[in-house]
Amino acid sequence: MSRVNSFFILLTFLLLILVQGCEKGGTVTGSSGDSGDDSFATIRGRVIQIDSTGSPDIFTRSQPVNEVQLKIFDSHGAVLSTSVTDSAGNFELQWVKRGITTLLATRDSMSAMLSEFSVDSSGTIDAGELILMAPGMVSGRIRLPDTDDYSMSRITVFPLKREYRTNSLGEFLFSGLPQGAHRLSIEKYGYGTVSIDFKVTSGQQTVIPEILLYPDTENVIPSVFSGSVKGVAKMSAANSPYLISGDITVVKDALLIIEPGVTVKFACRSDSMSTGVFNGGLVTKIRNHNTLLSELIVEGAVFAAGNVEAPVIFTSDSPNPSSGDWGGIYFSSGSRDALCLLRHCRVMWSDMGCLMENSSPTLEGCVITDARSHGIGILGRSANPKIYNSMITSSTNALAVKQGGGTIRSSILSRSMDEAVVIEDSQSFKIDDCIISSNPAGGIRVSRGRGVEIRSSIIGENLFGILDDDSFNLYIQNSVIISNTTYGVDMSLATLLRNNDVYGNQSPGNGSGASGAGNYVDGNAGTGDLHVNPKFLKPDYLFPDRGDWNIDSTSPLVNAGYGKTTIGLENPASIGP
Q: pLDDT tens-digit profile of 337-378?
A: 989 999 999 999 999 999 999 999 999 999 999 999 999 999
Instruction: Please check whether residue 128 is in contact with residue 104, taking contact to mean a CB–CB distance below 8 angstroms.
Output: no
Whether residue 407 is contained in a domain is answered as yes
Whether residue 17 is contained in a domain is answered as no
- From 175, 197, 212, the end of a domain falls on 212
Indicate the pLDDT class of residue 77, thresholds 50, 70 and 90. confident
What is the DSSP secondary-structure string of 479-515?
-EEE--SS-SEE--TTEEEES-EEE---S-----GGG
What is the reported pLDDT for 124?
85
Centroid of chain to Cα 243: 27
- Do β-strands 301-305 and 255-258 pair in parallel, antiparallel, or remain unpaired? parallel
Question: Is there a single domain that holds both residue 112 and residue 185?
Answer: no
Range of the domain at 107: 32-131
State residue 16 phi and psi, 5-degree precision: -65, -40
Question: Is there a single domain that holds both residue 197 and residue 64?
Answer: no
Whether residue 370 is contained in a domain is answered as yes
Question: Is there a single domain that holds both residue 122 and residue 145?
Answer: no
To the nearest whole percent, how much of the chain has pLDDT over 70?
A: 85
Query: Residue 430 sits in a domain of what CATH number?
Result: 2.160.20.10
Question: Is there a single domain that holds both residue 373 and residue 497?
Answer: yes
Question: Is there a single domain that holds both residue 353 and residue 322?
Answer: yes
Question: Is there a single domain that holds both residue 164 and residue 86?
Answer: no
Indicate the pLDDT class of residue 178, thresholds 50, 70 and 90. confident
Query: Residue 191 sits in a domain of what CATH number?
Result: 2.60.40.10
3-state class (DSSP) for residue 85: coil
Q: What is the pTM assigned to this prediction?
A: 0.76
The span from the CA of 376 to the CA of 353, in Å, is: 6
Q: Say yes or no to pLDDT of 24 above 60.
A: no
To which H or E segment does residue 468 belong?
Answer: strand 466-469
- Do β-strands 110-119 and 99-107 pair in parallel, antiparallel, or remain unpaired? antiparallel
Question: Is there a single domain that holds both residue 505 and residue 440?
Answer: yes
Judge if the upstream peptide bond of residue 159 is cis by omega within 30 degrees of 0.
yes
Whether residue 538 is contained in a domain is answered as yes
What is the reported pLDDT for 285?
36
Of the listed ranges 8-17, 56-65, 97-106, the one predicted with least confidence: 8-17
In three-state form (DSSP H/G/I as H, E/B as E, the rest C), the secondary structure along 193-227 is CEEEEEEECCCCEEECCCEECCECCCCECCCEEEE
Number of domains in the chain: 3
Of the listed ranges 26-35, 167-176, 520-529, the one predicted with least confidence: 26-35
| Span 246-257, average pLDDT | 92
What is the reported pLDDT for 103?
86
Region for residue 50 given its phi and psi (left: phi exceeds 0; alpha: psi -120 to 50; beta: otherwise): beta
Q: Say yes or no to pLDDT of 7 above 90.
A: no
Question: Is there a single domain that holds both residue 123 and residue 189?
Answer: no
The span from the CA of 104 to the CA of 114, in Å, is: 7
Whether residue 9 is contained in a domain is answered as no
Higher pLDDT, 223 or 111: 223
Q: Say yes or no to pLDDT of 317 above 80.
A: yes
- From 86, 107, 131, the end of a domain falls on 131
Question: Is there a single domain that holds both residue 45 and residue 143?
Answer: no
The span from the CA of 253 to the CA of 272, in Å, is: 25
| Span 290-313, average pLDDT | 91
What is the reported pLDDT for 271?
58
Whether residue 243 is contained in a domain is answered as no
Question: Is there a single domain that holds both residue 567 and residue 466?
Answer: yes
Alpha-carbon torsion (194, 343, 140, 54), positive or negative: positive
Q: Say yes or no to pLDDT of 119 above 60.
A: yes
Instruction: Please check whether residue 294 is in contact with residue 315, taking contact to mean a CB–CB distance below 8 angstroms.
Output: no
Question: Is there a single domain that holds both residue 363 and residue 457?
Answer: yes
Whether residue 286 is contained in a domain is answered as no
Question: Is there a single domain that holds both residue 174 and residue 110?
Answer: no
**Amino acid making up residue 23:** E
The string of pLDDT tens digits covering residues 396-409 is: 999 999 998 999 99
- From 131, 162, 181, the end of a domain falls on 131
What is the reported pLDDT for 122?
74
Whether residue 330 is contained in a domain is answered as yes
